[in-house]
Structure 1
Amino acid sequence: MNQDMATADAQRSVQEIENDAQRRQALKKVLPAAGIGHFVEWFDFGLYGTLATVISATFFNSDNPQSALLSTFAVFAVGFIMRPIGGMFWGSRGDRHGRKNVLATVVILTSVSTFLIGVLPTYSQIGVWASVLLVLVRLLQGFAAGGESSGATSLLLEYAPSKHRGFVTSFIDVFGFLAFLAGAALGLLLTLTMGEDTLNSWGWRIPFWVALPLGLIGVYLRMKLEDTPEFRAAQEGGEVTDSPLRDSFKVAWKALLFCVGFVVVKAVGHWLLQTFMPSYLKTDLKYNQTQSFEVTVIGFLVIVVLVPFFGWLSDTVGRKPLMIGGCIGFVVLSYPTLMLMGSGHFWAAVAAMAILGAFMAAIDGAINAAMPELFPTNIRYGSMSISYNVAVSVFGGVTPYVATGLIAWTGNNYSPAFFIGAAALISMITIFLAPETAHRNLVARAGDQTQLTTAHNH
């Protein structure tokens, strides 16, 4: 009997090696397909944050610059209202019909809505209707974005070799930060070549137009994929459910709560660094626009380099230690880091951005595997979409507005540190309570309570 068991284990090991080799080969197509769609989505969000001061003057009454900037960030937050709705819509379809077709539809909606921002009339042309049209386009973007991050992350996780899920899924944030980097760099390039007057007049529109051809490329790449091995296995095993959202709330409610708690620090941290930071450097800390772009670009480069390293490390030491370490960094060092940034010295601001980015990279390197690993295949896309988008909507969408408001209300330029610190504390407590998922078996049915709620420590 022992010999039979050893033979079976050896056969499973051989099969696992063969499957991992096939997955590595498939990732050559999957990574670009997942990445370009994710790039398009976050390219838009990055542009919106990087060009926030220009957008505020273009679409709102610019007699009061701070009020116009607050209005710009309020419209930014409005787009997040639609994310949970979009998450339920796209996530349910992704769990019932597969990942690739849903993701192809999402990327074209995102690219079209981003392009539309670049052709909208201005406040000086049609008055308040310019603001209304911007809100409508942001709602469409939010609806589409509700299906992108969770779907692209699920796609990569379900194609990743079993021992490298952290490393592979970390590239979701690599593509996301590259998109923000591209937005900031393009803003810097246009500022240097056009000058601020031309940029503010019409040059700001150019980056938004770029999204449409990128989206068409994304659709093409995603439609050429096969669906993931895990989803096809669930189909063949008759485990695809007709009501994945109901099953999520029925049997995976603990995992949903864990996922929400994980995302709090990710949502606030991302939008603080990516959307709020460029205008913060210019408006509150009095760096010029070129310096603001340069600090942002260098900070994003640091994050892009570190995220895959932390993803690889999470496959070795587990997801929880890295996420907890990043949270502790934000709780303890956010305020002194913003003080360093506020010193007025360019390289001090770069160092401060890199420090904050390192905390974010530690969290991102582990969290993109930790979130989908909480759920089995047949409810993964929808479950992750619900929890992720609820947290992003409640915490992430309001981050630029709250951070700007804290400065206005307190008169303290470093007060946004309190917000990111509180968010990190919430996530840290959740992570302590959550199971370690690094070596969890992904193939399970939605009714398997053990898979959903207990730890598989290593």
Structure 2
Amino acid sequence: MDYKSKNILGGSDKKFKKEDVNIVDTKIAKQSVIATSLGNAMEWFDFGLYAYLAITIGKVFFPEIDSSFQLIYAFATFAIAFIARPIGGFVFGMMGDRIGRKNILALTLIMMAGSTLSIGLIPSYATIGIAAPILLLITRLIQGFSTGGEYAGAMTFIAESTPDKKRGFLASGLEVGSLVGFIAGAGLVTLLSYLLGPDKMVEWGWRIPFLIAGPLGFIGFYFRSHLEETPAFKAMAKAEKEEKHRASFKEILTHHWKPLLICIGIVLFYNTTNYTVLTYMPSYLSEELGYGETKGLFLVLLLMVLMIPIILGMGYLSDRIRSRNRIIKGALIGNILLSIPAIMMMKTGNDFIVFLGLLLLGSQLACFQGTLPATLPSLFFTNVRFGSLAITYNISTSLFGGTTPLVVAWMVSITNNSMIPAYYLMASCLFGLIIVGFFVKETAGRSLRGSMPAVEDLNEIDEILKNPDEALWWKEELNMEIDEEKIIGLGHNRGVSIK
């Protein structure tokens, strides 16, 4: 009997009944979302600072480089940290499937805050020479390592803590937390740039945002350390304790290779769009289109504020229409059709039209952010969810997301074609349309793979009992010819809470 069969059939063969349905306390679920999102906001405040200080960091740490290449060097340091993300994803992801989601989320936050604080303490190139960019690189690698377990862990935690019919809306709160972190970082950098001016920012002002990271990290740690572990993980841990078997990395690759590849494809277009709009655009407006540094930062900051209600709206809509895939495909088509007009609008120089161009791209990104935090965790079974998601998310982000600012800036510099960002977005979204259109099964309103349904209302249970095959829709994916009794019994062994 292979690993898959043994893991599924090792438990009891009890029939699906009322007690098997997980009843979620909506109040506790919302508290979990808020606490996780707050921690994620702290994380992305730390991580986002570097992106919005890229021009200043280039001047501080690479002063002997020609000014036209300082931004590229700064983004290279930004991108190289993504080498550590898959390693962090592997380490923290496998640990998260063994010791719990909550513990890993607390650990990654402290590591991120500490490394970000350290950046603010590094002497400049003028003070210690080549040691300055080396120390910067080391701290960025630590940031990348800790981030490897952060976002995948947060998605996993929220997905496993929410009722099936509200997962889209509640999971979208995670991206709101990310945006709030970005907004706080960008807003602080914009305010300091306005108050201090470019000279003082280069001299000492750039350090202030990084030094704030320490206290914020401890606040986020407090919230996360008071979270309850997810019901799905508790049930899985109990089942696997009885079976004395935990999935290895080899078993994940062997038995879950298809969702691994699908996840990599989804994250490719998701983070290419994300890093183009929120990370590269401030520098693009300043360096390529001649906008003032402060104005470019302010426009993207305003964009992020307006994206928040769109994100929540898309999450809510996905639950109402029971379809996240339709929203994702609509945004992919939108990016393909609107990227060129959006960049052309930015080139007009008119502030209002420039912002409308940004809004065209930002609204499509908001559609992704409102739906994908619930979609990605649903690709994997409970006992491998954290590890599989962390590994694939970070591999794809490292290869295609974190490198986006560097690649696009380099392509613009060698071609002198300011339309490159549009072409880059269009290509990634065309690929994404193929992935979502042909390979992603709709999961809105359904239970997570390997879990019994999660509801918030007792009245929903009767409806589920009338159609147990729909409740355990994912059983067909196992492709195993076993009788119905054993199929029902497999839920317990995939991490389902049997009360």
> Offset of 1:27 from its aligned partner?
2.8
Which residue of structure 2 lines up, in the alignment, with residue 442 of structure 1?
Answer: 448
Q: Show the 5 A alignment for 1:193-204.
A: 193-204=195-206
**Per the alignment, do residues 354 and 235 of structure 1 end up closer, same or farther by CA in structure 2, a change over 3 Å counting?**
same
> Offset of 1:10 from its aligned partner?
9.6
Which residue of structure 2 lines up, in the alignment, with residue 4 of structure 1?
Answer: none
Q: Give the unaligned 5+ runs of structure 1.
A: 1-7
Residue 361 (structure 2) pairs with residue 359 (structure 1): no
**Per the alignment, do residues 443 and 267 of structure 1 end up closer, same or farther by CA in structure 2, a change over 3 Å counting?**
closer
Residue 40 (structure 2) pairs with residue 64 (structure 1): no
Pick one of 118, 133, 136 that aligns with 1:134. Answer: 136
Partner SS for 1:66: helix
- Name the CA distance, whole Å, in 1 between partners of 2:328 and 2:292: 34
**Per the alignment, do residues 12 and 350 of structure 1 end up closer, same or farther by CA in structure 2, a change over 3 Å counting?**
farther
**Per the alignment, do residues 134 and 425 of structure 1 end up closer, same or farther by CA in structure 2, a change over 3 Å counting?**
same
Which residue of structure 2 lines up, in the alignment, with residue 260 of structure 1?
Answer: 264
Residue 36 (structure 2) pairs with residue 34 (structure 1): yes
Q: Tell me the amino acid that sits aligned with residue 400 of structure 2.
A: F
Contact 2:166 2:445 in 1 (8 A): no
Contact 2:164 2:446 in 1 (8 A): no
Deviation track 1:180-224 (CA, whole Å, cap 9, x = no partner) reads 111111111112222222122111111111111111112121111
Contact 1:328 1:424 in 2 (8 A): yes
Which residue of structure 2 lines up, in the alignment, with residue 331 of structure 1?
Answer: 336
Pick one of 417, 421, 425 that aligns with 2:422. Answer: 417
Q: Decide which structure has the larger Cα Rg and report it.
A: 2
> Offset of 1:330 from its aligned partner?
1.3
Contact 1:374 1:452 in 2 (8 A): no
Pick one of 186, 191, 194 that aligns with 2:193. Answer: 191
Contact 1:230 1:443 in 2 (8 A): no
Residue 426 (structure 2) pairs with residue 399 (structure 1): no
Higher alpha-carbon deviation: 36-45 or 223-232: 36-45
Contact 2:346 2:353 in 1 (8 A): yes
Q: Tell me the amino acid that sits aligned with residue 360 of structure 2.
A: I
**Per the alignment, do residues 444 and 244 of structure 1 end up closer, same or farther by CA in structure 2, a change over 3 Å counting?**
farther
Which residue of structure 2 lines up, in the alignment, with residue 91 of structure 1?
Answer: 93
Q: Tell me the amino acid that sits aligned with residue 252 of structure 1.
A: H
4+ aligned runs moved over 4 Å, structure 1: 8-13, 451-454
Which residue of structure 2 lines up, in the alignment, with residue 247 of structure 1?
Answer: 251
**Per the alignment, do residues 56 and 218 of structure 1 end up closer, same or farther by CA in structure 2, a change over 3 Å counting?**
same
Deviation track 1:142-172 (CA, whole Å, cap 9, x = no partner) reads 1100000000011111111110111111111
Deviation track 1:384-434 (CA, whole Å, cap 9, x = no partner) reads 011111110000111001111121111111211111111111111100122
Which residue of structure 1 lines up, in the alignment, with residue 284 of structure 2?
Answer: 280
Higher alpha-carbon deviation: 234-243 or 141-150: 234-243
- Name the CA distance, whole Å, in 2 between partners of 1:110 and 1:450: 41
Deviation track 1:59-78 (CA, whole Å, cap 9, x = no partner) reads 11355112111111111111
Q: Tell me the amino acid that sits aligned with residue 354 of structure 1.
A: L
Partner SS for 1:146: helix
- Name the CA distance, whole Å, in 2 between partners of 1:244 and 1:376: 14
Partner SS for 2:265: helix
- Name the CA distance, whole Å, in 1 between partners of 2:288 and 2:47: 21
Q: Show the 5 A alignment for 1:12-411.
A: 19-20=23-24, 22=25, 24-238=26-240, 241-317=245-321, 318-411=323-416
Contact 1:104 1:219 in 2 (8 A): yes
**Per the alignment, do residues 10 and 252 of structure 1 end up closer, same or farther by CA in structure 2, a change over 3 Å counting?**
closer
**Per the alignment, do residues 109 and 9 of structure 1 end up closer, same or farther by CA in structure 2, a change over 3 Å counting?**
closer
Higher alpha-carbon deviation: 62-71 or 401-410: 62-71
Contact 1:114 1:141 in 2 (8 A): yes
Identical counterparts, % of pairs: 38
> Offset of 1:40 from its aligned partner?
2.3
The structure, 1 or 2, with the larger RCO (C-alpha pairs under 8 Å, 6+ apart) is 2
Contact 1:244 1:382 in 2 (8 A): no
TM superposition score normalised by structure 1: 0.92
- Name the CA distance, whole Å, in 2 between partners of 1:134 and 1:258: 34
> Offset of 1:349 from its aligned partner?
1.5
> Offset of 1:443 from its aligned partner?
5.5
> Offset of 1:280 from its aligned partner?
0.9
- Name the CA distance, whole Å, in 2 between partners of 1:453 and 1:79: 40
Partner SS for 1:242: coil
- Name the CA distance, whole Å, in 1 between partners of 2:297 and 2:74: 19
- Name the CA distance, whole Å, in 1 between partners of 2:478 and 2:318: 20
User: How many residue pairs get matched?
Assistant: 440
> Offset of 1:236 from its aligned partner?
2.4
Q: Tell me the amino acid that sits aligned with residue 368 of structure 1.
A: P
- Name the CA distance, whole Å, in 1 between partners of 2:375 and 2:75: 30
**Per the alignment, do residues 370 and 10 of structure 1 end up closer, same or farther by CA in structure 2, a change over 3 Å counting?**
same
Contact 2:174 2:373 in 1 (8 A): yes
**Per the alignment, do residues 99 and 453 of structure 1 end up closer, same or farther by CA in structure 2, a change over 3 Å counting?**
farther
**Per the alignment, do residues 241 and 205 of structure 1 end up closer, same or farther by CA in structure 2, a change over 3 Å counting?**
farther
> Offset of 1:9 from its aligned partner?
9.5
- Name the CA distance, whole Å, in 2 between partners of 1:241 and 1:403: 45
- Name the CA distance, whole Å, in 2 between partners of 1:452 and 1:207: 49
> Offset of 1:441 from its aligned partner?
2.4
